[in-house]
Structure 1
Amino acid sequence: MNFEQIYNQFKEEKISERYITLNHIEPILNRLSEKIKVAVIGKSVLERPIYSCQSGSGKIKILIWSQMHGNESTTTKALLDFFNLLESDAEIAKDLLNRFSFCIIPILNPDGAEAYTRVNANKIDLNRDAQDLSQPESIVLRRAYNDFEPDFCFNMHDQRTIFGVGDTNKPATVSFLAPSYDEERNINAVREKAVSVIVAMNNTLQQFIPGQVGRFDDGFNLNCVGDTFQHAGTPTILFEAGHFQGDYEREETRKFIFFALLSAFDSIYENVIVDNVFEDYVNIPQNNPRFFDFVYKNIKINYDSSDKFINFAAQFNEELIDNQIFFNAFVVKIGDLEENVGHTELDGNGQSFKNFTENSLQLNQKADFFIGESVQIRNGIVQS
């Protein structure tokens, strides 16, 4: 399968960047043909519609939902690309529609998407509401699950730039999890199906982002949706769209999520039996929160009239201002960074730190400063 060619052909060009709301996707949903049946299946806390998109006539039923956390939009973009593929006359689209029945919820938490927050309008994390079902969005998802009776569930998320792959210096661009179904993290036939699909997706992605696929922690929490559905007997896979080098808008990662989806569907349909599949799964390195967006090393700074050489790190805060996401960098750690890596690193070679207002370095200050006489840092970034 030529993943690159398929993606380039069907990428939805009208959607990009990180801020994705109903206002962005509704024009796309409205133009879909009868191949994809769009329906409002519920309302959010603030009465925004929650859409489902159903397509296909195959026996294998797959339920997918995205933006359960409103500020995690990368997988939504990949799903819109997938809609374009299903709408086409390509042979792969015909095969998918004949083999599968899809129920896709592109934005489960439209209020959180609008506000660019993880939580819903009641400040509840929907991914911790699987048992209480205290929120209307949680009830919508559970009703969709009960009515559709899926054979597989795909729980689509973004993860922060802090995650790397194991002890390597590579970012976790995509991570997966086959959630546990019990406290002991056992493997049964249901979880093994999810594991097998993840192994297939990892094998595909290693061709494009070698060493940049991670495995999420599988601690059991029945309040989480994935753990609940796995516990209920439905193979469930957590997708985590992470950081690719320099790709803060997650446009490259979007492509790899699309690749993963196609690989997953192919694996499920072919139902290839792999020996030692769980061993292959656990050999995917676990996510390790060791990254910062910026790391500055060997910087001279004056404390109490004496010079010291320090390392410090800065991290972007994502802030919604006038319907646009701004990445604003702040100092988040000063001191020992031996176990940490920066997506961008600068060795100051002993040059002096100089602030724009005073020559002090404090946590939570804006990452605007000089290193020596000539290196100017604005918003964490070296200015040319």
Structure 2
Amino acid sequence: MNFKNISFLFFLFGFLTVSISSAQEKEIYKELYNSYEDFKEKSIEKRRFTQAEIQPLIDELKKKENFEVAKVGESIEGRPLHLISVGSGEVDVFLWSQMHGDESTATMAIFDILNFLDSEEFSEEKEEMLKNVKLHFLPMLNPDGAQRFQRRNLLGVDINRDALRLQSPESKTLKKVRDSLDADFGFNLHDQSTYYNAERTPKPATISYLAPAFNYEKSINNVRGAAMQVIVQMNEILQEYAPGQVGRYNDDFEPRAFGDNIQKWGTSTVLIESGGYANDPEKQEIRKLNFVSILAAVFSIADGDYKNADISKYEEIPNNDRKLFDLKLTGLTYELLGEEYILDLGINQREIQDESLDYFYDAYIADRGDLSTFYGYEELDASGFSLVEGKIYPETFQNLAELQQENISEILQEGYAYVALEELPEEDFTESPINIVSEDFEISGNLQPHFFLQKDGKLVYAVINGFLIDLSEENFSVENALILD
């Protein structure tokens, strides 16, 4: 056998080995996705939770033989910051979440991953993985922000812009832990706006990735290149479960940011941003995608498979764009000062939070005009429909109990978006599909997201607080309407 034949056989053997390995790993990820509910941490299923709610989970891990739990710092208000470590490998992988207090999706996923690591399932795969890597989790870096479900810490500082000055104790802790580990890989876990879409598509950027730049030139060295290769593999996995819903975050260099600097300091850093997913306001499906994709990355790092990824495919991931609305209405007829115009409307629903961390929706018209390059989670072609602004029902009711005796559906079908009460509830919202107002309430002269769509003289749809209602349906509801004084 000549040298060329021997070389070809070695090449073929290597190719087959990689192919078999990749196929086996994809099967594992499929099994992880399908068995996710076995590992999901059931005690946290809403986005708004505090450090006090995860502390018992951390305390339980302290009792586990395979886990190391160390207090590594405190927040400004004295809430503890813990590092949870597992594994014995020489490759250190550092994952931190919720440096912005209102970005909690990955924190939930971290505890799902910890449950997975603590379970009896997939024991052989985990044993092999943890021989090669040591995982370090720092969940909820900004517990004071999480206490208020706000982005910044108690000082009012964006921790992710404090990597150089290091004035916040949380920032100092993150830098100290990164330096002490001299981690090979880092995962910077965030949430992004639900209004991001994958560029030039109507699909939300449910997960966006970034290998942050470490200089203004956006150079690619071995450190950043390795992060790109890991992202290529994560993207391939997620395309199985959220096809077309992966974006690439903007890579402009930000010299104050931790991700950019940690990349610069020699840790291959992957930014993960959890965005939007239809009908998933508490981000439970996105949490599941985090669980699968992060574990896929860790397995790939452990066996070195990420090195086989084609780095050029990183640039093929669509850029993030911000062209999504909660509701998009296209081509409706709008009358102003006796003239008719054709408009598209884009309506969004902002979350208004109270002191108990509960929230309600308060919709607003985000844009109008030609929105042909925009998309909506919910869309309606309103061509041929005329916009009719909502009116106040002529009868005033004493209180909410009296109103609830009425047929709200019939009131809406007559074009009334508001009902007045003598005794206005103290809350700011109502679960009824109609706005409740005081007796002296006056409708704003500006177009509000409370109107009707009429065709051939008949009201067909209502939009109440930005929620679209088909008036032909017998039963309908909205997340909430408003109580307006």
Fold match (TM-score > 0.5): yes
Question: Residue 158 of structure 1 contacts residue 242 of structure 1 at CA under 8 Å; is this kept in 2?
Answer: yes
Unaligned regions of 5+ residues in structure 2, if any?
A: 1-27, 393-442, 470-475, 477-485
**Cα distance change, pair 356–27 in 1 and its aligned pair in 2 (3 A):** farther
Kindly indicate whether residue 393 of structure 2 is the aligned counterpart of residue 346 of structure 1.
no
**Cα distance change, pair 304–200 in 1 and its aligned pair in 2 (3 A):** same
Question: Residue 293 of structure 1 contacts residue 316 of structure 1 at CA under 8 Å; is this kept in 2?
Answer: yes
The equivalent residue for 2:296 is: 263
Of stretches 326-335 and 184-193 in structure 1, the one that deviates more from structure 2 is 326-335
Question: Residue 211 of structure 2 contacts residue 271 of structure 2 at CA under 8 Å; is this kept in 1?
Answer: yes
TM-score, length basis structure 1: 0.94
1:112-141 deviation per Cα after TM superposition (whole angstroms, max 9, x unaligned): 111111111111111111111111110110
The equivalent residue for 2:438 is: none
The equivalent residue for 1:194 is: 227
Kindly indicate whether residue 461 of structure 2 is the aligned counterpart of residue 375 of structure 1.
yes
Q: Which amino acid aligns with 2:172?
A: I
Kindly indicate whether residue 215 of structure 2 is the aligned counterpart of residue 182 of structure 1.
yes
TM-score, length basis structure 2: 0.75
Of stretches 137-146 and 368-377 in structure 1, the one that deviates more from structure 2 is 368-377
Question: How much does 1:99 deviate?
Answer: 2.6
Question: How much does 1:336 deviate?
Answer: 2.3
Structure 1 runs (4+) greater than 6 angstroms displaced: none
Of stretches 311-320 and 122-131 in structure 1, the one that deviates more from structure 2 is 311-320
2:342 to 309, 312, 332: 309
CA distance in 2, matches of 1:205, 1:169: 17
The equivalent residue for 2:236 is: 203
User: Any idea what SS the aligned residue of 1:269 has?
Assistant: helix
- Bigger relative contact order, structure 1 or 2 (CA pairs below 8 A, ≥6 apart): 1
Kindly indicate whether residue 100 of structure 2 is the aligned counterpart of residue 65 of structure 1.
no
Question: Residue 132 of structure 2 contacts residue 303 of structure 2 at CA under 8 Å; is this kept in 1?
Answer: no
Question: How much does 1:276 deviate?
Answer: 7.4
The equivalent residue for 1:325 is: 359
The equivalent residue for 2:143 is: 110
CA distance in 1, matches of 2:446, 2:129: 56
- Between the aligned residues of both structures, percent identity stands at 35
2:260 to 217, 222, 227: 227
User: Any idea what SS the aligned residue of 2:272 has?
Assistant: strand
User: Any idea what SS the aligned residue of 2:300 has?
Assistant: helix
Question: How much does 1:194 deviate?
Answer: 0.4
The equivalent residue for 2:56 is: 27
Question: How much does 1:325 deviate?
Answer: 3.1
Question: How much does 1:158 deviate?
Answer: 0.7
**Cα distance change, pair 137–356 in 1 and its aligned pair in 2 (3 A):** farther
CA distance in 2, matches of 1:22, 1:276: 38
User: Any idea what SS the aligned residue of 1:54 has?
Assistant: strand
1:159 to 188, 192, 216: 192
Show the 5 A alignment for 1:2-41. Answer: 2-32=31-61, 33-34=63-64, 35-41=66-72
**Cα distance change, pair 17–165 in 1 and its aligned pair in 2 (3 A):** same
The equivalent residue for 1:293 is: 326
Unaligned regions of 5+ residues in structure 1, if any?
A: none
Q: Which amino acid aligns with 2:268?
A: P
CA distance in 2, matches of 1:313, 1:84: 41
Question: How much does 1:359 deviate?
Answer: 8.2
Question: Residue 86 of structure 1 contacts residue 93 of structure 1 at CA under 8 Å; is this kept in 2?
Answer: yes
The equivalent residue for 2:390 is: 355
The equivalent residue for 1:55 is: 86
CA distance in 2, matches of 1:67, 1:341: 29
1:290-311 deviation per Cα after TM superposition (whole angstroms, max 9, x unaligned): 1111112222332123232211
Question: How much does 1:216 deviate?
Answer: 0.8
